[in-house]
Structure 1
Amino acid sequence: MSHHRSPPSPPPPEPPESPSSVYCTPSPQSKATTPSPTARFFLSRHQSFIKPSPLTKHILPRQQSSNTLPPEFPYEHDTAKTSVGLYLRKHRRTNPAIWCSAIICLIFSILFIFIVVAILIIFLVVKPKTPVLDTSHATLNVIYFDSPGYFNGDFTFIANFSNPNKKLNVRFEHAVMQLYFEDGLIATQSIQPFSQRRKETGVVVIRFVSSLVSMSSNHARELQKQVMSNKVFYSVRGTFKVRASLGAIHFSYWLHGQCELQMSSPPSGSLMARTCKTKR
């Protein structure tokens, strides 16, 4: 009896493999635990809106909130701590010279404040006014030329000084008067110091004498022309140092006065018109 064997069947063909990808079937556990990209996006947004409760703040370790070095660097942490401790223990006494300079600066500051307050009181309560220079009479006695370019003259000026202040006394400590013709100086005269009480007026007689004063040819011709026309224009200018006082408080300032005069011709030249102004 013969047994006939059938030939073995070939193995089932294997699926073709891609050279760049490998097919794998995820397990059910990985499907359940791994969220999709969309779910992860919404989950992260939801966690960002959740604020930690006060319990979680107490549960968190204190090392996370403090600015200390991590435990991986213990030596650096100890060094910083010891340096801070040494820095806090250092204490130096202040130099006495610094204390002296500070006291001196304080004294000068108090004096400065006191002076400023005193000045404000004077200007706000007393209201100081400027003394006034004026004239009511003047005489032109002589004008002649000894030689071309050399002038000789005699002029008398009556200066009126008035103190308009109601609470301040003034004193003219330095006073110089000058006579000009066409901005050319022809005579100078100084005045002795004098004082004026409040609301007081004083008169000072000043005589200007010019002898062989050099004058330019243009000014000489102009002066001769004015003498012929019976109108001579002179200018009197004064510079004064005034000291105002209110009891023990006093202050000084410079005062400038100017009078423009129109005189008749000599020998009996009289004052025809004037314009006077006074300013600091």
Structure 2
Amino acid sequence: MAVFKRKLAMSYGGHTNPLVWLAAIICTIFAIAVIIIGIIVFIGYVVIHPRVPIISVTSAHLDLLRNDYAGLLQTQLSIVVTASNGNAKAHAQFSEITFSLSFQGQGIAVLVADSFDVPKNSSNNLRYVVQSSPIPLTPEQMDEVDASRKRNEISFDFKGAARTRWRIGPFGSVKYSCHLNCHLKFRPSNGSYIPSKCSSKSK
């Protein structure tokens, strides 16, 4: 069986082609640059020791809760979502911000916000006033509303996510996705918010 061997491109006289040397030099420079940038980013991360930015519901109020015998529910909620940046040496950017509000699986509203920056060691509030159209309820959901009024506690599902990013040094940056999934509980008698832990988890 014939065996074929590949030889490195050679120029006349048995010397390595200058283009091969040039390619090798470029690859070496690129590899060194990647290593240096990686070291700078690592040192910047250690020096800054950043805290992961978070989103959380810090305040809310049940402005309206009305249901009729036809099984239609109307509600209005005021919700304050706070974007917090605990980094003392780096600004943070929040983007792709989307939240959904629902009751017993029935969608009420989708809330969004444009991208914004939060200065180091600071926070920014997003204030939403959510007014629903009449929501048709099943008999089971109507029973749940009645039971909620009797025990003076009603719960809404609040889910959402945002992307966060902040720079470390002149070359690198850190990115996270913040995910929020919690229940917002209120007193139907006066609309007051029952405080609970509703903060994001980073992925």
Instruction: Mark the runs of 5 or more structure 2 residues left unpaired by the alignment.
Output: 1-12
CA-CA distance at 1:188 after TM superposition: 0.9
Determine the structure 2 residue equivalent to 1:229.
151
Distance in 2 (alpha carbons) for counterparts of 1:271 and 1:153: 14
Write the distance in 2 (CA, Å) between the matches of 1:252 and 1:115: 17
The match for 2:184 among 257, 261, 265 is: 261
Look up the match of 1:180.
Answer: 102
* Residue of 108, 113, 132 corresponding to 1:210: 132
Q: Residue 15 of structure 2 is aligned with which of 62, 85, 93?
A: 93
3-state DSSP of counterpart to 1:120? helix
The reply to whether residue 251 of structure 1 matches residue 178 of structure 2 is: no
How many pairs are equivalent?
Answer: 190
Q: Structure 2: which amino acid aligns with 1:175?
A: I
Q: Could you list the runs of 5+ residues in structure 1 that have no partner in the other structure?
A: 1-90
1:139 aligns with 2:58: no
> Are 1:106 and 2:34 counterparts?
no
Q: Which amino acid aligns with 1:236?
A: F
For the 8 Å contact 1:181–1:233, the answer to whether it is kept is yes
Question: Residues 26-37 of structure 1 correspond to what in structure 2 (within 5 A)?
Answer: none
2:73–2:136 CA contact under 8 A, matched in 1: yes
Matched, 1:167 2:89: yes
Which structure has more relative contact order (CA 8 Å, sep 6+)? It is 2
Pick closer, same or farther for the CA change 1:169–1:216 going to 2, 3 Å.
Answer: farther
> Alignment partner of 2:65: what SS?
strand
More strand as a share of residues: 2
CA contact (8 A) 1:141 1:154 kept: yes
| Alignment partners' CA distance in 2, 1:125 and 1:260 | 37
Q: TM-score, normalised by structure 2?
A: 0.76
1:240 equivalenced with 2:153 (yes/no): no
Greater radius of gyration (CA): 1
Separation (CA, whole Å) in 2 of partners of 1:214 and 1:99? 74
2:9 counterpart residue number = none
For 2:81 and 2:151, the matched residues in 1 are separated by 26
Q: Deviations over 1:18-75 (max 9, x none)?
A: xxxxxxxxxxxxxxxxxxxxxxxxxxxxxxxxxxxxxxxxxxxxxxxxxxxxxxxxxx
CA distance 1:234–1:95, shift in 2 (3 Å): same
1:113 Cα deviation after fit: 0.8
Aligned to 1:79: none
RMSD: 3.0
The one-letter code sitting in structure 2 at the alignment partner of 1:108 is F
Name the aligned partner's letter for residue 179 of structure 2.
H
Decide which moves more: 99-108 or 269-278: 99-108
Over residues 110-137 of structure 1, what are the superposed CA-to-partner deviations in whole Å (9 max), with x where a residue is unaligned?
A: 2321232122113211111112333442
